[in-house]
Protein backbone atom coordinates (compact mmCIF):
# COMPACT_ATOMS: atom_id res chain seq x y z
CA UNK A 1 0.00 0.00 0.00
CA UNK A 2 1.37 3.40 -0.95
CA UNK A 3 2.28 5.55 2.01
CA UNK A 4 0.00 8.43 2.69
CA UNK A 5 2.28 11.47 2.92
CA UNK A 6 -0.15 13.19 5.27
CA UNK A 7 0.43 10.55 7.98
CA UNK A 8 4.18 10.99 7.63
CA UNK A 9 4.04 14.79 7.75
CA UNK A 10 1.82 14.57 10.81
CA UNK A 11 4.15 12.11 12.56
CA UNK A 12 7.11 14.37 11.76
CA UNK A 13 5.38 17.27 13.44
CA UNK A 14 3.90 15.33 16.37
CA UNK A 15 7.19 13.71 17.30
CA UNK A 16 9.55 16.62 16.72
CA UNK A 17 11.21 15.71 13.44
CA UNK A 18 10.10 18.55 11.16
CA UNK A 19 8.03 21.69 11.80
CA UNK A 20 6.70 24.24 9.38
CA UNK A 21 8.95 27.29 9.42
CA UNK A 22 7.51 30.37 11.17
CA UNK A 23 4.41 28.36 11.98
CA UNK A 24 2.99 30.89 14.46
CA UNK A 25 2.79 33.37 11.57
CA UNK A 26 1.00 30.92 9.32
CA UNK A 27 4.20 29.40 7.91
CA UNK A 28 6.23 30.37 4.87
CA UNK A 29 5.87 28.45 1.67
CA UNK A 30 8.34 25.58 1.21
CA UNK A 31 10.44 26.36 4.31
CA UNK A 32 10.76 23.76 7.06
CA UNK A 33 12.55 23.56 10.40
CA UNK A 34 14.16 20.40 11.70
CA UNK A 35 13.17 19.69 15.28
CA UNK A 36 15.17 17.79 17.92
CA UNK A 37 14.78 14.35 16.32
CA UNK A 38 15.01 15.67 12.76
CA UNK A 39 18.32 17.36 13.37
CA UNK A 40 19.72 14.12 14.85
CA UNK A 41 18.58 12.17 11.80
CA UNK A 42 20.03 14.80 9.50
CA UNK A 43 23.34 14.88 11.37
CA UNK A 44 23.53 11.09 11.17
CA UNK A 45 23.05 11.19 7.38
CA UNK A 46 25.65 13.93 7.02
CA UNK A 47 28.11 12.07 9.23
CA UNK A 48 27.72 8.84 7.23
CA UNK A 49 28.27 10.73 3.98
CA UNK A 50 31.25 12.63 5.37
CA UNK A 51 32.85 9.44 6.66
CA UNK A 52 32.34 7.68 3.32
CA UNK A 53 33.96 10.60 1.50
CA UNK A 54 36.71 11.80 3.81
CA UNK A 55 37.95 8.65 5.45
CA UNK A 56 40.23 7.84 2.49
CA UNK A 57 43.47 9.24 1.14
CA UNK A 58 42.22 10.88 -2.03
CA UNK A 59 39.42 13.17 -0.83
CA UNK A 60 39.57 16.32 1.33
CA UNK A 61 36.76 18.36 2.84
CA UNK A 62 36.13 22.09 2.74
CA UNK A 63 33.46 24.51 3.94
CA UNK A 64 33.22 27.44 1.52
CA UNK A 65 31.14 30.56 2.04
CA UNK A 66 27.61 30.83 0.69
CA UNK A 67 28.12 34.31 -0.76
CA UNK A 68 30.70 34.35 -3.54
CA UNK A 69 32.05 36.87 -6.02
CA UNK A 70 29.22 37.52 -8.52
CA UNK A 71 31.59 36.69 -11.39
CA UNK A 72 31.54 33.08 -10.19
CA UNK A 73 27.93 32.79 -11.36
CA UNK A 74 28.63 34.48 -14.66
CA UNK A 75 31.47 32.04 -15.35
CA UNK A 76 29.52 29.00 -14.15
CA UNK A 77 26.68 29.83 -16.55
CA UNK A 78 24.12 30.28 -13.77
CA UNK A 79 23.30 33.89 -14.58
CA UNK A 80 22.59 33.13 -18.22
CA UNK A 81 21.40 29.57 -18.05
CA UNK A 82 19.94 28.68 -14.65
CA UNK A 83 16.40 29.45 -15.68
CA UNK A 84 12.96 27.95 -15.98
CA UNK A 85 10.28 29.29 -18.33
CA UNK A 86 7.30 30.86 -16.53
CA UNK A 87 3.89 32.24 -17.34
CA UNK A 88 2.02 34.78 -15.19
CA UNK A 89 -1.74 35.07 -14.80
CA UNK A 90 -2.67 38.59 -15.83
CA UNK A 91 -5.62 38.58 -13.43
CA UNK A 92 -4.54 36.92 -10.14
CA UNK A 93 -0.77 37.29 -10.79
CA UNK A 94 -0.05 33.65 -9.88
CA UNK A 95 2.92 32.05 -11.66
CA UNK A 96 3.14 28.65 -13.30
CA UNK A 97 5.55 26.48 -15.23
CA UNK A 98 3.96 26.15 -18.69
CA UNK A 99 4.97 22.47 -18.94
CA UNK A 100 2.92 21.68 -15.81
CA UNK A 101 -0.41 23.22 -16.87
CA UNK A 102 -2.86 21.82 -19.38
CA UNK A 103 -4.66 24.88 -20.71
CA UNK A 104 -3.81 28.40 -21.77
CA UNK A 105 -5.93 29.72 -18.90
CA UNK A 106 -4.87 30.21 -15.26
CA UNK A 107 -5.56 26.99 -13.28
CA UNK A 108 -6.40 29.10 -10.21
CA UNK A 109 -8.81 31.74 -11.57
CA UNK A 110 -9.24 31.04 -15.30
CA UNK A 111 -7.59 34.37 -16.19
CA UNK A 112 -5.42 34.89 -19.29
CA UNK A 113 -1.72 34.01 -19.15
CA UNK A 114 1.33 35.93 -20.39
CA UNK A 115 3.75 34.42 -22.93
CA UNK A 116 6.45 32.26 -21.25
CA UNK A 117 9.40 34.26 -19.86
CA UNK A 118 12.67 32.99 -18.48
CA UNK A 119 12.94 33.19 -14.71
CA UNK A 120 16.34 32.92 -12.99
CA UNK A 121 16.32 30.54 -10.04
CA UNK A 122 19.04 32.31 -8.06
CA UNK A 123 18.16 34.39 -5.01
CA UNK A 124 19.64 37.87 -5.23
CA UNK A 125 20.59 40.16 -2.42
CA UNK A 126 22.84 43.17 -1.87
CA UNK A 127 26.19 43.28 -0.16
CA UNK A 128 26.91 46.41 1.86
CA UNK A 129 24.73 49.44 2.53
CA UNK A 130 23.96 50.49 -1.05
CA UNK A 131 21.34 48.58 -2.96
CA UNK A 132 22.39 49.03 -6.58
CA UNK A 133 23.49 46.87 -9.53
CA UNK A 134 27.12 46.86 -8.40
CA UNK A 135 26.33 45.40 -4.98
CA UNK A 136 24.26 42.41 -6.15
CA UNK A 137 25.35 39.07 -4.75
CA UNK A 138 23.64 35.69 -5.01
CA UNK A 139 22.87 32.96 -2.52
CA UNK A 140 24.66 29.96 -4.03
CA UNK A 141 22.36 27.61 -5.95
CA UNK A 142 24.87 24.74 -5.57
CA UNK A 143 27.88 24.17 -3.34
CA UNK A 144 30.05 22.95 -6.25
CA UNK A 145 31.41 26.34 -7.29
CA UNK A 146 33.01 26.87 -3.85
CA UNK A 147 34.98 23.71 -4.59
CA UNK A 148 36.06 24.68 -8.12
CA UNK A 149 37.43 28.06 -7.09
CA UNK A 150 39.41 26.32 -4.33
CA UNK A 151 40.67 23.49 -6.51
CA UNK A 152 44.29 24.64 -6.67
CA UNK A 153 44.32 25.83 -3.03
CA UNK A 154 43.46 22.33 -1.85
CA UNK A 155 45.60 20.54 -4.41
CA UNK A 156 48.72 22.55 -3.67
CA UNK A 157 48.42 22.88 0.12
CA UNK A 158 47.75 19.18 0.64
CA UNK A 159 50.07 18.17 -2.21
CA UNK A 160 47.53 15.98 -3.98
CA UNK A 161 48.13 14.21 -7.24
CA UNK A 162 45.31 13.73 -9.69
CA UNK A 163 42.96 11.91 -9.30
CA UNK A 164 41.67 13.41 -6.07
CA UNK A 165 38.43 14.88 -4.79
CA UNK A 166 37.01 17.67 -2.64
CA UNK A 167 33.86 17.19 -0.59
CA UNK A 168 31.55 19.70 0.99
CA UNK A 169 28.24 19.81 2.84
CA UNK A 170 26.29 23.04 2.86
CA UNK A 171 23.18 25.02 2.19
CA UNK A 172 22.08 25.90 -1.32
CA UNK A 173 19.21 28.12 -2.41
CA UNK A 174 16.98 28.01 -5.48
CA UNK A 175 13.95 30.13 -6.05
CA UNK A 176 12.03 27.09 -7.29
CA UNK A 177 8.79 27.83 -9.12
CA UNK A 178 7.08 24.67 -7.99
CA UNK A 179 8.36 23.67 -4.57
CA UNK A 180 6.44 20.97 -2.79
CA UNK A 181 6.02 17.43 -1.57
CA UNK A 182 7.06 18.36 1.97
CA UNK A 183 10.88 18.63 2.10
CA UNK A 184 11.37 17.09 -1.37
CA UNK A 185 11.68 20.38 -3.23
CA UNK A 186 12.32 23.47 -1.14
CA UNK A 187 13.93 26.82 -1.79
CA UNK A 188 16.58 26.38 0.86
CA UNK A 189 18.17 22.96 1.17
CA UNK A 190 21.38 21.19 2.01
CA UNK A 191 23.64 19.48 -0.49
CA UNK A 192 26.43 16.99 0.04
CA UNK A 193 28.69 17.32 -2.98
CA UNK A 194 31.97 15.76 -3.97
CA UNK A 195 33.92 16.87 -7.02
CA UNK A 196 36.52 14.36 -8.21
CA UNK A 197 39.28 15.77 -10.44
CA UNK A 198 40.62 13.35 -13.04
CA UNK A 199 42.86 13.30 -16.08
CA UNK A 200 40.88 13.86 -19.30
CA UNK A 201 40.49 10.50 -20.99
CA UNK A 202 40.01 8.69 -17.67
CA UNK A 203 36.74 10.50 -16.93
CA UNK A 204 34.41 7.83 -18.29
CA UNK A 205 35.98 5.17 -16.14
CA UNK A 206 35.80 7.34 -13.02
CA UNK A 207 32.22 8.23 -13.83
CA UNK A 208 31.28 4.53 -13.75
CA UNK A 209 33.23 4.07 -10.53
CA UNK A 210 31.45 6.88 -8.66
CA UNK A 211 28.07 5.93 -10.03
CA UNK A 212 28.39 2.46 -8.48
CA UNK A 213 29.91 3.75 -5.23
CA UNK A 214 27.07 6.16 -4.70
CA UNK A 215 24.37 3.57 -5.25
CA UNK A 216 26.13 1.36 -2.68
CA UNK A 217 26.06 4.23 -0.19
CA UNK A 218 22.31 4.64 -0.49
CA UNK A 219 21.83 0.91 0.00
CA UNK A 220 24.07 1.01 3.07
CA UNK A 221 21.73 3.58 4.61
CA UNK A 222 19.23 0.76 4.69
CA UNK A 223 17.04 2.06 1.84
CA UNK A 224 15.06 -0.72 0.14
CA UNK A 225 17.20 -1.66 -2.92
CA UNK A 226 14.01 -2.28 -4.93
CA UNK A 227 13.16 1.39 -4.51
CA UNK A 228 16.47 2.62 -5.89
CA UNK A 229 17.35 2.90 -9.56
CA UNK A 230 19.49 4.83 -12.01
CA UNK A 231 18.03 7.16 -14.56
CA UNK A 232 20.25 8.35 -17.38
CA UNK A 233 19.70 11.88 -18.65
CA UNK A 234 18.68 12.09 -22.28
CA UNK A 235 20.13 14.86 -24.47
CA UNK A 236 17.16 17.11 -23.62
CA UNK A 237 17.71 16.75 -19.86
CA UNK A 238 21.49 17.29 -19.67
CA UNK A 239 22.53 20.41 -17.76
CA UNK A 240 24.59 23.00 -19.63
CA UNK A 241 27.83 21.71 -18.08
CA UNK A 242 27.33 17.97 -18.40
CA UNK A 243 28.68 15.43 -20.88
CA UNK A 244 26.90 12.57 -19.15
CA UNK A 245 24.58 12.38 -16.17
CA UNK A 246 22.84 9.69 -14.14
CA UNK A 247 20.40 10.28 -11.35
CA UNK A 248 19.98 7.95 -8.43
CA UNK A 249 16.22 7.80 -8.08
CA UNK A 250 14.09 6.66 -5.17
CA UNK A 251 10.50 5.52 -5.54
CA UNK A 252 8.64 8.15 -3.50
CA UNK A 253 4.87 7.81 -2.96
CA UNK A 254 4.60 10.49 -5.68
CA UNK A 255 6.74 8.54 -8.17
CA UNK A 256 10.38 7.82 -9.04
CA UNK A 257 12.37 10.97 -8.33
CA UNK A 258 16.00 12.05 -8.18
CA UNK A 259 17.83 12.04 -4.85
CA UNK A 260 21.35 12.33 -6.26
CA UNK A 261 22.93 13.44 -9.51
CA UNK A 262 26.21 12.03 -10.81
CA UNK A 263 27.60 14.24 -13.55
CA UNK A 264 30.56 14.29 -15.86
CA UNK A 265 31.10 18.07 -15.86
CA UNK A 266 34.22 17.79 -18.06
CA UNK A 267 36.59 20.77 -17.76
CA UNK A 268 33.65 23.14 -18.22
CA UNK A 269 33.71 24.85 -14.83
CA UNK A 270 37.48 25.08 -14.34
CA UNK A 271 38.02 26.34 -17.91
CA UNK A 272 35.34 28.96 -17.49
CA UNK A 273 36.79 30.13 -14.18
CA UNK A 274 40.27 30.23 -15.66
CA UNK A 275 39.05 32.36 -18.58
CA UNK A 276 36.92 34.61 -16.41
CA UNK A 277 39.42 35.19 -13.56
CA UNK A 278 42.55 35.24 -15.71
CA UNK A 279 44.19 32.88 -13.15
CA UNK A 280 45.49 29.55 -14.30
CA UNK A 281 43.60 26.53 -12.97
CA UNK A 282 45.83 24.02 -14.70
CA UNK A 283 47.28 21.08 -12.90
CA UNK A 284 50.96 20.30 -13.36
CA UNK A 285 51.84 16.64 -13.36
CA UNK A 286 55.38 16.41 -11.94
CA UNK A 287 55.96 12.90 -13.24
CA UNK A 288 55.06 13.46 -16.88
CA UNK A 289 55.63 17.26 -16.94
CA UNK A 290 52.16 17.66 -18.48
CA UNK A 291 49.90 20.61 -17.76
CA UNK A 292 46.16 20.26 -18.11
CA UNK A 293 42.77 21.29 -16.79
CA UNK A 294 41.28 18.23 -15.15
CA UNK A 295 37.85 16.82 -15.85
CA UNK A 296 35.39 16.72 -12.98
CA UNK A 297 33.10 13.89 -11.92
CA UNK A 298 30.51 15.30 -9.58
CA UNK A 299 28.38 13.42 -7.08
CA UNK A 300 25.67 15.70 -5.70
CA UNK A 301 23.13 14.45 -3.21
CA UNK A 302 20.43 16.37 -1.41
CA UNK A 303 20.57 15.84 2.33
CA UNK A 304 16.91 16.73 2.82
CA UNK A 305 15.75 14.49 -0.02
CA UNK A 306 17.79 11.60 1.31
CA UNK A 307 16.27 12.21 4.72
CA UNK A 308 12.78 12.17 3.22
CA UNK A 309 13.56 8.89 1.44
CA UNK A 310 14.85 7.42 4.74
CA UNK A 311 11.69 8.50 6.58
CA UNK A 312 9.39 7.10 3.90
CA UNK A 313 11.33 3.86 3.63
CA UNK A 314 11.34 3.35 7.39
CA UNK A 315 7.70 4.20 8.02
CA UNK A 316 5.39 1.25 8.69
CA UNK A 317 1.94 0.94 10.15
CA UNK A 318 1.05 -2.48 11.51
CA UNK A 319 -1.29 -4.25 13.88
CA UNK A 320 0.43 -6.04 16.75
CA UNK A 321 -1.54 -8.00 19.34
CA UNK A 322 -4.70 -6.27 18.23
CA UNK A 323 -3.15 -2.81 18.59
CA UNK A 324 -2.03 -0.52 15.82
CA UNK A 325 1.54 0.70 15.92
CA UNK A 326 3.46 3.03 13.65
CA UNK A 327 7.14 2.31 13.57
CA UNK A 328 10.13 3.87 11.89
CA UNK A 329 12.44 1.00 11.00
CA UNK A 330 15.57 3.09 10.63
CA UNK A 331 18.92 1.43 10.26
CA UNK A 332 20.35 1.72 13.81
CA UNK A 333 23.09 4.03 12.44
CA UNK A 334 20.41 6.50 11.36
CA UNK A 335 18.08 6.32 14.35
CA UNK A 336 18.01 9.64 16.24
CA UNK A 337 17.73 7.93 19.65
CA UNK A 338 19.63 4.66 19.84
CA UNK A 339 18.56 3.37 23.26
CA UNK A 340 15.69 4.25 25.60
CA UNK A 341 15.90 3.39 29.29
CA UNK A 342 12.81 2.61 31.38
CA UNK A 343 12.37 1.74 35.03
CA UNK A 344 9.43 -0.70 35.18
CA UNK A 345 7.82 1.47 37.88
CA UNK A 346 8.51 4.81 39.48
CA UNK A 347 10.34 3.25 42.44
CA UNK A 348 13.58 4.86 43.64
CA UNK A 349 15.62 1.65 43.52
CA UNK A 350 14.58 1.01 39.88
CA UNK A 351 15.01 4.66 38.87
CA UNK A 352 18.49 4.74 40.37
CA UNK A 353 19.73 1.66 38.52
CA UNK A 354 18.12 2.88 35.27
CA UNK A 355 19.91 6.25 35.53
CA UNK A 356 23.20 4.51 36.28
CA UNK A 357 22.91 2.29 33.18
CA UNK A 358 21.95 5.24 31.04
CA UNK A 359 24.96 7.22 32.26
CA UNK A 360 27.26 4.33 31.28
CA UNK A 361 25.80 4.25 27.79
CA UNK A 362 25.65 8.03 27.22
CA UNK A 363 29.24 8.46 25.98
CA UNK A 364 28.50 6.08 23.10
CA UNK A 365 24.95 6.81 21.98
CA UNK A 366 22.15 9.30 22.17
CA UNK A 367 19.83 7.86 24.82
CA UNK A 368 16.56 8.91 26.44
CA UNK A 369 14.89 8.13 29.77
CA UNK A 370 11.16 7.56 30.07
CA UNK A 371 9.10 6.54 33.10
CA UNK A 372 5.67 7.84 32.04
CA UNK A 373 2.81 5.41 31.40
CA UNK A 374 2.75 1.65 30.89
CA UNK A 375 5.74 -0.16 29.40
CA UNK A 376 3.61 -0.93 26.32
CA UNK A 377 2.95 2.76 25.74
CA UNK A 378 6.58 3.61 26.25
CA UNK A 379 7.55 1.01 23.63
CA UNK A 380 5.04 2.49 21.17
CA UNK A 381 6.45 5.98 21.71
CA UNK A 382 9.96 4.77 20.93
CA UNK A 383 8.78 2.67 17.97
CA UNK A 384 7.23 5.74 16.48
CA UNK A 385 10.52 7.64 16.48
CA UNK A 386 12.56 4.63 15.40
CA UNK A 387 14.55 3.86 18.57
CA UNK A 388 16.03 0.41 17.91
CA UNK A 389 16.43 -0.73 21.55
CA UNK A 390 14.59 -0.22 24.82
CA UNK A 391 16.14 -1.33 28.11
CA UNK A 392 13.80 -2.02 31.03
CA UNK A 393 14.95 -2.31 34.62
CA UNK A 394 12.54 -4.40 36.72
CA UNK A 395 12.50 -5.78 40.28
CA UNK A 396 14.35 -8.94 39.18
CA UNK A 397 17.16 -6.74 37.87
CA UNK A 398 18.08 -5.92 41.47
CA UNK A 399 18.54 -9.62 42.17
CA UNK A 400 19.79 -11.18 38.93
CA UNK A 401 21.80 -8.12 37.80
CA UNK A 402 20.21 -8.30 34.35
CA UNK A 403 17.81 -6.21 32.28
CA UNK A 404 15.34 -6.75 29.45
CA UNK A 405 16.40 -5.41 26.06
CA UNK A 406 13.57 -5.17 23.57
CA UNK A 407 14.19 -5.04 19.83
CA UNK A 408 12.06 -2.53 17.87
CA UNK A 409 11.61 -4.67 14.75
CA UNK A 410 11.18 -8.21 16.04
CA UNK A 411 9.75 -6.97 19.38
CA UNK A 412 11.68 -9.88 20.93
CA UNK A 413 13.05 -9.38 24.41
CA UNK A 414 16.45 -10.59 25.57
CA UNK A 415 17.58 -10.81 29.15
CA UNK A 416 21.08 -9.32 29.27
CA UNK A 417 23.50 -9.24 32.22
CA UNK A 418 24.39 -5.71 33.33
CA UNK A 419 28.06 -6.42 32.72
CA UNK A 420 27.27 -7.36 29.10
CA UNK A 421 24.80 -4.60 28.32
CA UNK A 422 27.10 -2.03 26.76
CA UNK A 423 28.86 -4.62 24.57
CA UNK A 424 25.52 -6.05 23.48
CA UNK A 425 24.19 -2.63 22.45
CA UNK A 426 27.39 -1.58 20.72
CA UNK A 427 27.49 -4.76 18.67
CA UNK A 428 23.87 -4.38 17.61
CA UNK A 429 24.10 -0.67 16.83
CA UNK A 430 27.60 -0.26 15.46
CA UNK A 431 27.62 -3.64 13.73
Applying CB under 6 A, the span of 110-118, 203-211, 295-303, 386-394 interacting with ligand ATP comes to 295-303
Q: Strands (DSSP E) along 54-98, which ranges?
A: 59-61, 83-88, 95-96
Query: Between β-strands 228-232 and 164-173, what pairing exists: parallel, antiparallel or unpaired?
Result: unpaired
Q: Is 204 in the site for ligand ATP (CB under 6 A)?
A: no
Number of residues located near ligand ATP, criterion CB under 6 A: 15
Task: Decide whether 261 or 332 has the Cβ nearer to ligand ATP.
Answer: 261
CB 250 within 8 A of CB 227: yes
Task: Decide whether 177 or 422 has the Cβ nearer to ligand ATP.
Answer: 177
Gap between the Cα atoms of 416 and 107, Å rounded: 62
Binding mask 299-338 for ligand ATP (x = CB under 6 A): -xxx-xx---------------------------------
Distance in Å, CB of 45 to ligand ATP, minimum: 12
Task: Decide whether 162 or 238 has the Cβ nearer to ligand ATP.
Answer: 238
Task: Decide whether 262 or 339 has the Cβ nearer to ligand ATP.
Answer: 262
Q: For the chain, report the end-to-end CA distance as a whole number of angstroms.
A: 31
Q: Is 7 helix (H, G, I), strand (E, B) or coil?
A: helix
Binding mask 239-268 for ligand ATP (x = CB under 6 A): -------------------xxxx-------
Distance in Å, CB of 251 to ligand ATP, minimum: 15
Task: Decide whether 78 or 272 has the Cβ nearer to ligand ATP.
Answer: 78
Q: Which helix (H) or strand (E) holds 173?
A: strand 164-173
Distance in Å, CB of 15 to ligand ATP, minimum: 22
The DSSP secondary structure of 58-69, one letter per residue, reads TEEE----SB--
Distance of CA 198 to the CA centre of its chain: 26
Binding mask 172-191 for ligand ATP (x = CB under 6 A): --x-x--------xx--x-x
The b/e string for 401-411 (b: 16+ C-beta within 10 A; e otherwise) is ebbbbbebeee
CB 122 within 8 A of CB 82: yes
Helices and strands (DSSP H and E) totals, the chain: 13, 23
List residues binding ligand ATP (CB under 6 A): 174, 176, 185-186, 189, 191, 258-261, 300-302, 304-305
Amino acid sequence: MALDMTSLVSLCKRRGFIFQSSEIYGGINSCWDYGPLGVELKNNIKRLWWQAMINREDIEGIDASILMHPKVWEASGHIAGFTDPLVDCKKCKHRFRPDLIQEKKCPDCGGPLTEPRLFNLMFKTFMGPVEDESSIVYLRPETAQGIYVNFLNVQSTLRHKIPFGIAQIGKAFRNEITPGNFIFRTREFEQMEMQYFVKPGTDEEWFEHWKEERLKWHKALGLNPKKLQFHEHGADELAHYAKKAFDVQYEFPFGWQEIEGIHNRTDFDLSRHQASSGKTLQYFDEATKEKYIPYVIETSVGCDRTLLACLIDAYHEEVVEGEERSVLRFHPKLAPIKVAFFPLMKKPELQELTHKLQEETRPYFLTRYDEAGSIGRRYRRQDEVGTPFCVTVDFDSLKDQAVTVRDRDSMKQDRIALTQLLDYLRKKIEG
